[in-house]
Structure 1
Amino acid sequence: MGTWGTGVFASDYAQDYLDELAELPEQQRLAELTRTLGIAAEEPASMRDQGLFGAIVLAAVGVVAASLPLGSDLLPDEENEFEPQGWPLSQSAPVPLVALARRALAVVGAPGSEWRNGWVSESDGIEAGRTVQWLDRVLTGEHKHDGVTGGTDQ
């Protein structure tokens, strides 16, 4: 599995997770997002045992963020595998799911976490930190854009 950038969906793990979500009806997507984010937020020590990596959790956070008004930069420009029009959620994520995403982001995106420490170059590590900060602002509704889009080709 590879990582090609610091963006939210810039890894094979993230892309595979999106593919898995695309195959589910929307209600099951919500359940899968809740499961993934819940493990990261409430049982982080068991993430590996359950096949979760930081990039997967970050992708789940990104899906939730993309459903919010300030998260539109996360929406894909090209192919949309998700039906109906919602990518991959047709409406804003429920408030409890947004709160869960924020807690999961705090675990996965924390300084010293596996995802944050996994960057080879210092500049990528700094950019990854900016991605986490940007996602947190989207999830809290704080409107401040610093040029980080969280996309796939950072």
Structure 2
Amino acid sequence: MGTWGMGHFDSDTAADFAGRLDDTPPAEREAVVKEALAVTAGTRAGEYLDADDGVVAVAAAALLAAQRPGGTPVDSAYAPDEPVPPLAPELRELAVRALDRVVADASELLELWADVGEGEEWSAGVRSLRAALAAGGQEAG
């Protein structure tokens, strides 16, 4: 899995996503975040969700949640080095759907965490991130 911790950027796949964001012109970074969320959110219930898609969706959701008023900053050496421009608040609904899919049945990422006995703790972190995104209304962003 190339994972060294439960942080949202504590895997090779999430670090690669951060690098992709850094390499993307600032005006196009929101589209990269949206694509990451849409791939996972668009995976139908019961359809197998690839772990890499789930990892990237969680990382993208963490960047979005960090921009909420009072949001927890993404504090990882593997997160994007370049600033992420303000992301559209409308992406939060897409992020919530993506996170719901990541912790649903037929999620390889959930299975991998369960296989190492960390499924409940990891899922709790994802649910906390989801709650931060689902809380409150749509602020201007």
User: What's the TM-score bracket when you normalise by the shorter of the two chains?
Assistant: 0.7 to 0.9
- Residue 92 of structure 2 corresponds to which residue in structure 1? 98
**TM-score normalised to structure 2 length:** 0.78
Count of equivalent residues: 133
Contact 2:18–2:79 at 8 Å: present in 1 too?
Answer: no
For residues 79 and 17 of structure 1, the distance between their equivalents in structure 2, rounded to whole angstroms, comes to 9
RMSD of Structure 2 on Structure 1 (CA)? 2.7
Query: For residues 98-151 of structure 1, what are the alpha-carbon distances to aligned partners after superposition, in whole Å with 9 as ceiling and x for unaligned?
Result: 1111111111122552111112332x2121111111101110237xxxxxxxxx
- Give the number of the structure with larger relative contact order, counting CA–CA contacts within 8 Å between residues 6 or more apart: 1
5+ unaligned residues in a row in structure 2: which ranges?
Answer: 137-141
- Residue 139 of structure 2 corresponds to which residue in structure 1? none
For residues 117 and 11 of structure 1, the distance between their equivalents in structure 2, rounded to whole angstroms, comes to 16
Task: Tell me, yes or no, if structure 1 residue 108 matches structure 2 residue 102.
Answer: yes
Contact 2:39–2:53 at 8 Å: present in 1 too?
Answer: no
5+ unaligned residues in a row in structure 1: which ranges?
Answer: 143-154
2:120 to 123, 126, 140: 126
Task: Tell me, yes or no, if structure 1 residue 7 matches structure 2 residue 12.
Answer: no
Contact 1:108–1:116 at 8 Å: present in 2 too?
Answer: yes
**TM-score normalised to structure 1 length:** 0.73
Give the aligned residue type for 1:11. S
In the TM superposition, residue 75 of structure 1 has moved relative to its aligned partner by 3.6
